[in-house]
Structure 1
Amino acid sequence: MKLSIQSTLDYRFEQPTDLLLQVEAAIIPEQVVTDAFIELSPTEHFARVVGHDQIGDRIWLRVAERLTVHYRAVVTTQRLLADISALRQVPMHLLPGETVEYLMPSRFCQSDQCQHFVDGEFAGLEGGARIDAIRAWVEDKFSYVPGSTTAETTALDTFVKREGVCRDYAHAVVTLARACGVPARYVSAYALGVEPQDFHAVAEVFLDGAWHLVDATGMAQAAGIAKIGVGRDAADVSFLTAYGQSQYLNQQVWVSGE
């Protein structure tokens, strides 16, 4: 699938501030990025650094008062699509080393506190069948409510409130998958079908020797998702991390497909 992507950011800063920006679609084998262009307002410093797991780029910036970002690209996805429910779980002792960190609890995904829940709620299911049941459970039990959570909301907070946005749905799936012994990571992305249009977040699980996208919001399909970056949770892949006071002025995202 071919996706046309545009995004804009506009922020103001009280004093010179260091920023870490990650808004560009990742150049990786499962997606071909063409016609990419990024324009930034004047900065005091600009340097690219590789993203988590070598997926995508982060950009170090130092800005004085204002940052505007305009990004556009065409992304053709070519990832392998699979029926999650039919995939097998890789035994822990056979997991590749790079997947191990995604079994561990993290700041927003306290998987160590969910073991009894997954063993009871999803008893009798294994591997991809259990992950698909987790996806369906989150989609059914949670309500998508913009503004209902904050940047500090954890998966356990969302589990109690049963409402949130894509970030919270992804954290919930990641947390429950890890509690089942399945490596799971958080993916920031552009995605077709997201309403209202915005940066999107989904989970990605390691089954049958490969990573597979899971969107419990039900809004996006794997073929219509362009990855920006991956990490343990949202803290690793924020589109903008400011190391100082910032004021949000405007943010827009457009994604169309063919």
Structure 2
Amino acid sequence: MPIAIETQFAFELPSPTDALLQFEAARIPEQTILETDTQVTPSEHVARVPAQENIGERLLVRAEGALEVSYSARVDIARAVSDLARHGAIPPHEIPGEAVEYLFDSRYCPADDFQSFAEAEFGGTSGGARIAAISDWIADHFSYVPGSSTTETGAVDSFVARQGICRDYAHVLIALARASAIPARYVACYAPGVDPPDFHAVAEVFLADPAKSAGGVWQLVDATRMACPSETVKIGVGRDAADVSFLTTFGPSTFRSSCVRVTKE
């Protein structure tokens, strides 16, 4: 079942400024781009650069004045999704190198601060069962409140406030997973059913693959319970939101508007 995406956003740069944009669905084996169209206001410079883990691309733009972006796509998803409880934990010494970096603290996810809580609240669970327990705990104890956090809000702030938006839910889950020695990363994505409609964020955790005797597999987890993994379109991945913001400017800017529409065909 294809997922249809329509996105528009606009911002203004008062002087010549570089900006990094990441908003297009990634071309990766688990999702096929059937149709795509990207329109960006003509600028002094526009170039494509690989994104984190080579999942998706970023647009590096240098512009001045009003800049508008319009993007549409149809994406077919063929992602293997399974019950988290079927996935065991991978001992840290057996985690492959490419996943090890997602055990470390990052700007918004200070996992060390959560170790005592993770063991006290989720002790006796491991692997996918622990991730399921963490996700359920966040869903049960947090309130989804648009406008309740800012770009400075980290996992500790959200944990204390017990509220936030999708990025905050993802940051807390990532921090608790890493505190449990489970690699976890942030996924910027599109998904139908997100309310209010917007760019979405979920977590992805690295667990043992029950179909193989060694190695592991990344599994999407959304503690907001709004996005289904089999219908989620990945834009990019990173340690936390700082790595995959849809808009990063290297100078003053004013955000004007955004509109995101994601539907199942």
TM-score higher than 0.5: yes
* Structure 2 counterpart of 1:38: 38
Distance, in Å, in 1 between the alignment partners of 2:88 and 2:125 is: 11
* Structure 2 counterpart of 1:173: 173
Could you list the runs of 4 or more consecutive aligned residues of structure 1 that deviate by over 6 angstroms after TM superposition?
none
Taking structure 2 as the reference length, the TM-score comes to 0.96
* Structure 1 counterpart of 2:189: 189
Q: Which amino acid aligns with 1:232?
A: R
| Correspondent of 1:247 among 241, 254, 257 | 254
Give yes or no for the alignment of 1:27 onto 2:34.
no
Distance, in Å, in 2 between the alignment partners of 1:26 and 1:177 is: 25
* Deviation string, structure 1 residues 46-77 (Cα, Å, up to 9, x no partner): 11110101100011000111110000000111
Where structure 2 has 5 or more consecutive residues not aligned to the other structure, the ranges are 209-215
SS in 2 for 1:15: strand
Distance, in Å, in 2 between the alignment partners of 1:116 and 1:52 is: 31
* Structure 2 counterpart of 1:81: 81
* Structure 1 counterpart of 2:138: 138
How far did 1:192 drift? 1.0
How far did 1:196 drift? 0.7
* Structure 2 counterpart of 1:105: 105
Give the fraction of aligned pairs with identical amino acids, expressed as a percent: 52
* Structure 1 counterpart of 2:224: 217
How far did 1:249 drift? 1.1
Taking structure 1 as the reference length, the TM-score comes to 0.99
RMSD: 0.6
Distance, in Å, in 2 between the alignment partners of 1:222 and 1:64 is: 38
Question: What is the correspondence of 1:201-216 to structure 2 with a 5 Å cutoff?
Answer: 201-208=201-208, 209-216=216-223
How far did 1:156 drift? 0.3
Distance, in Å, in 1 between the alignment partners of 2:255 and 2:104 is: 33
Q: Which amino acid aligns with 2:7?
A: S
User: What number of residue pairs does the alignment pair up?
Assistant: 258
* Structure 1 counterpart of 2:240: 233
Q: Which amino acid aligns with 1:256?
A: T
Distance, in Å, in 1 between the alignment partners of 2:20 and 2:242 is: 12
SS in 2 for 1:195: coil
SS in 1 for 2:15: coil
* Deviation string, structure 1 residues 80-122 (Cα, Å, up to 9, x no partner): 0110122111111111100011000000000011111011100
Distance, in Å, in 1 between the alignment partners of 2:31 and 2:242 is: 24
* Deviation string, structure 1 residues 135-184 (Cα, Å, up to 9, x no partner): 00001100000000000000000000000000000001000000000000
* Structure 2 counterpart of 1:69: 69
